[in-house]
Structures are given as structure tokens and as C-alpha cells.
Amino acid sequence: MKINSNYFKTDILSGLVVFLVALPLCLGIALASGAPLFSGIIAGIIGGIVVGFLSHSQLSVSGPAAGLTAIVLAAITSLGSYETFLMAVVLAGALQILLGFAKAGTISNYFPSNVIEGMLTAIGIIIILKQIPHAVGYDADVEGDEAFIEKVEGHNTFSSVLDGLNHVQTGAIIICLVSLAILIAFNKVDFLKKLKVVPGALIAVIAGVVLNEVFKIISPDFVIQQEHLVNLPVPKSFDDFIGQFKLPNFSSITDSKVWIVAATIAVVASIETLLCIEASDKMDPLKRYTNTNAELFAQGAGNILSGLLGGLPMTSVIVRTSANVNSGGRTKVATMAHGLFLLIAVLTIPTILNKIPLACLAAILLMIGYKLASPSVFKHMWQGGKYQFIPFIVTVLAIVFTDLLKGVGIGLVVSIFFILRANLKLAYFFKKEDYHEGETITMKLAQEVSFLNKAAIKQTLGHLPENSKLLIDASDTFYIDHDVIQLFKDFLNIGSKDKNIKVELVGFKSEYNLDAPTHVTSH
């Protein structure tokens, strides 16, 4: 792996910011999944160092994903033990490697850009809505939960925001506002923008820790208690630390339920990864493209290792990737640095990390959310016309009110509908011209005419007036579907004769074997 010295410093600083964002998310996703807390840290470390090294993506950051929490929670329960579940994670990784060799990653080329834009915007909105409760000191829902229906019984995204506003902690609000002020200053003040020694996010976190310690001295009512701080497991000895790693139950490899779980994880994790890779390429200031088949291989290798060490399954994750891009990360050094920071931190300073208020981390995430869902994005999509804006806004709303995969699925359906509708209209240009010998109707075919255009062409041919003349021009057409050719043949042999319509064909390739009853000009 070549290291670009031009970006090395900013990549390291970006990795530090991503580490701060990833730490509570790793713990929160593990908690929501019903897995040991340390399992999220293991997946985060491997996702950063191992997947970061193997991946061809320069910006994508991998780790435990919120989209897998429901699957993991149900799987651990149904399989009976966490060790058996780990066997499924290892097998899922192996299946992802096979998908990479089968070139399944190429399906990402068919994700419409308006759906990817909608996904990014929706994630930004979700981050903002989910972090508002944490910002005011209400941490009932775990960090990393992105689903509309939350783990807390009877709660959803909006009800949690309202409940948070009813459970405000003054100390949390002060820390969040101070952190936001620091982050905004580092984005707006020229002197601080040019100060590349330390990232604003690190200053915000340090300020949050210091403020909470000051509260303990001067105003105990403002103190943020441990349940509202980072809660990293702190081993009492080396044996305790080693005991946090788990081995898979290898004897369960013959269990069909394990294979079903493995296949489910492999498919869902691969789809989420491909979506994130498309999104990260779209966010890349340097406009590079990622080999998605190689990415599936890298994810598979990461999941095998994570399962062998007791970690959660992982995917490429939009929140971490967005944090990386927004913090100035430009090469995979940033991704690997974030994994290395996670490893060093849990080994050396877990007690210090547990002093970080979730409120100041919420401030960092709020800034990321705003950048993803800024008003300029909506304006840009609106200017793209209804065929761009409607699938975009449907994707945004669907993800916010369901979850990532369901929302993207709904967005894809709507986008495909508009693609088909546009395709039907663009299959040919249809016009009438009046000549002295009678009425001539011209049908100019597009570059590609697929079976999707058959219905519209059939309807047009059926409504042609009697005793008219039809000119079908395929001079610029490279491909005509067999079904459409057959439709033209039927019209030439039957339909045109019934209505006494004279047909002239121009530009049709000889291999189409179309013979009009009048003059034909072919390539």
C-alpha cells in the first residue's frame, strides 16, 4: 500500500475524529444487538485496520452496522449461544468472499444516483433526530440505533425527541452547545480553519471532559452521570482483557440454522456495503471509483477474522465514512488510523475514555448530519427536475420512517418507475407533417429501443389514421429488441394493410429482416 505524503497528516487527524465517532457507535450497536460490549470494539478495530488495508476504497470506513442489529439480536436468541452465532459470522464472511469472486459487486452500478443522494440525506436527518436526545442528556435509546421504531418499547424517532426535551439536563446542554461552538468556529474562523495541528472534534471532546470535571467542583447539579458518558468495559487484569475475546463454536458448522443466519448476514451486509461504497465514491472530492468486487472480498475477510475473535459482523458504514470525508480524510490511511486508535485506546486509556460525555459526541454527529442533509442538497435535487426529485424525496422519507434497506428498496421501486416512464417516452420521437401527396407520420427511433418500449409503440401504431403514410427512421438506432422487431413485422404484414397505410423504413439493419411493402432504405 502506497502512502500519499500529501495527505498523511490530514488522514491521521481525520482518523482521530472517526475514532471519536466510532467509539460510542461500536458500543451502542453491540448493546442493541444483545452482544458483549467488547464485540463491537473488536469489529471496529478489524473494520479499520484489516478491511481498511484490504479495501480498494480510499474513504470508506467499516465497522459494526446498525442495519444488522435486529438480525444479530434474533440470531443470538435462535441459535442459543453467542459462540454459535460467531460461527455464522465466519461463514458469512466466507460467503462474501465467494460473492466477490462471482463479481456480485457490479450490481452497485445499477443504484440510481437520486436514491444514493436520498440515502445520504436521510442518514443525515436520522443522525440529527437521533442525537437531539443525547445532546440534552436523555440516553434511553442506544447510540447507533437508526431504525424509526426504537428498542425502547413504544418509542420511535420522534417520540424520543419529544421525551428528550422533557428530560433535559442542564450540564449536557451546556457541554453540547460549547462543543458545537468549537466545531462551528473550526469551520468558519479562518485562523482556526488553517490550524491543522489538531481537529476541532478533539478540542470539543477535551472541552466536554474538562467542563464535566469542573461541574463536579463548582456545580454538582450540572454533573453528567456515568450512564450519560461513554461506557467502555474496563478489564481489571490482563486475564480479564483476554477473556473478552470469544471463539466460535466450530461444531455448529453442520447446523442448517447457522447457515441460514450466515447467508442472511452475508446478503444484508453486502448490500449495505455496496450502498455505502456508492455513497462514498459520490462524496469523494477526488472522484475516485472503488472496485466493489474487491470490497466484498475485503469485507468477507474482515468478517471471518471478526467472527474468529468474538466480534460482531461488519459493513461499510455511512456515518463513519461521512465523518472521514468531512474531517479531511483522503486515503485509506485515515480508515486504518481510526482502527489503530481504537486498539490503542482500549488497551491503554479505557478509564479516560469513559469520562467523555455523550452530549459532546452528539455535537460532532449533529454537525455531520447537517452536512449530509443541508438545504443545498434539497435545492440541487429540486433543480434536477421531478424525475430526480421525486425518487430522492421518497427515498429520504422512506428511510427516515422505516430503516436503511427498506427505505432504499422503496426508493429503488419509485426510481425504476420513473426510469421506465422516461424510457417509454424517449423510445421514439413522433411527429406529423403535411405534404402535398397526403399526410406523413414520422417515427424517429432512439439509440436503444427495449422491450419496455413495446407497449407505447404498439399503442402508437394502433392509433394511426387510415390511408396515411408512416416513416420509421432507425438511422441513429444501435439496438432494437426482438419483441419490438416482431411488432414492426406484424404491423407491416397485417396492421398496415388493414388500414391501407404505406410504410417506409429508413436505417434498419439488414439482420432485422424487415421488408416493407414500399421503399426501404437499410444500413
Report d(CA 456, CA 48) in Å as an integer: 51
Residues whose CB falls within 8 Å of the CB of residue 314, separated by 6 or more in sequence, listed in order: 43, 44, 46, 47, 51, 62, 63, 64, 65, 269, 299, 302, 303, 306
CATH topology (fold) of 427-522: Transcription Regulator spoIIAA (3.30.750)
Chain Cα centroid distance, residue 199: 25
The answer, yes or no, to whether residue 437 has pLDDT greater than 60, is no
Lowest-confidence pick of 60-69, 317-326, 498-507: 498-507
Integer CA distances (angstroms), 263 to 69, 79, 133, 259, 481, in order: 16, 14, 35, 6, 36
The answer, yes or no, to whether residue 435 has pLDDT greater than 50, is no
pLDDT digits (tens, 9 = 90+) for 371-422: 999 999 999 899 888 888 999 999 999 999 998 999 999 999 998 888 777 6
Chain Cα centroid distance, residue 13: 24
Give the model's confidence band at 520: pLDDT under 50 very low, under 70 low, under 90 confident, else very high: very low
Which of 235-249, 256-270, 280-294 is the most confident on average?
Answer: 256-270
The answer, yes or no, to whether residue 519 has pLDDT greater than 60, is no
pLDDT digits (tens, 9 = 90+) for 28-73: 999 999 999 999 999 999 999 999 999 999 999 999 998 899 999 9
The answer, yes or no, to whether residue 147 has pLDDT greater than 90, is no
Average pLDDT over residues 112-124: 93
Amino acid at 154: G
DSSP 442: E
Average pLDDT over residues 133-156: 86
Q: Which residue would you say has higher pLDDT here, 318 or 145? A: 318
Integer CA distances (angstroms), 397 to 121, 327, 332, 381, in order: 10, 27, 32, 15
Cell of 206: 477535551
What pLDDT is recorded for position 433? Answer: 53
What pLDDT is recorded for position 203? Answer: 94
What pLDDT is recorded for position 329? Answer: 95
**Percentage of residues of the chain with pLDDT beyond 90:** 64
**Percentage of residues of the chain with pLDDT beyond 70:** 94
What pLDDT is recorded for position 424? Answer: 61
Give the model's confidence band at 523: pLDDT under 50 very low, under 70 low, under 90 confident, else very high: very low
What pLDDT is recorded for position 431? Answer: 58
Count other Cβ atoms within 10 Å, centred on residue 304. 20
What pLDDT is recorded for position 470? Answer: 87
Residues whose CB falls within 8 Å of the CB of residue 323, separated by 6 or more in sequence, listed in order: 14, 17, 18, 21, 61, 364, 368
Closest by alpha carbon to 341, among 30, 333, 54? 333
Domain boundaries, the chain: 10-379, 427-522
Lowest-confidence pick of 19-23, 131-135, 472-476: 472-476
The answer, yes or no, to whether residue 518 has pLDDT greater than 60, is no
Give the model's confidence band at 237: pLDDT under 50 very low, under 70 low, under 90 confident, else very high: confident
Mean per-residue pLDDT of the chain: 90
Average pLDDT over residues 231-247: 91
pLDDT digits (tens, 9 = 90+) for 71-92: 999 999 999 999 999 999 999 9
The answer, yes or no, to whether residue 522 has pLDDT greater than 60, is no
What is the pTM (predicted TM-score) of this model?
A: 0.83
Are 232 and 37 within 8 A, CB to CB?
yes
Average pLDDT over residues 305-334: 96
What pLDDT is recorded for position 153? Answer: 74
Cell of 281: 465514491
Give the model's confidence band at 521: pLDDT under 50 very low, under 70 low, under 90 confident, else very high: very low
What pLDDT is recorded for position 478? Answer: 81
Closest by alpha carbon to 493, among 513, 471, 516, 472? 516
pLDDT digits (tens, 9 = 90+) for 180-209: 999 999 988 887 777 767 889 999 999 999
The answer, yes or no, to whether residue 438 has pLDDT greater than 80, is no
Chain Cα centroid distance, residue 452: 29
Report d(CA 312, CA 35) in Å as an integer: 8
What pLDDT is recorded for position 458? Answer: 83
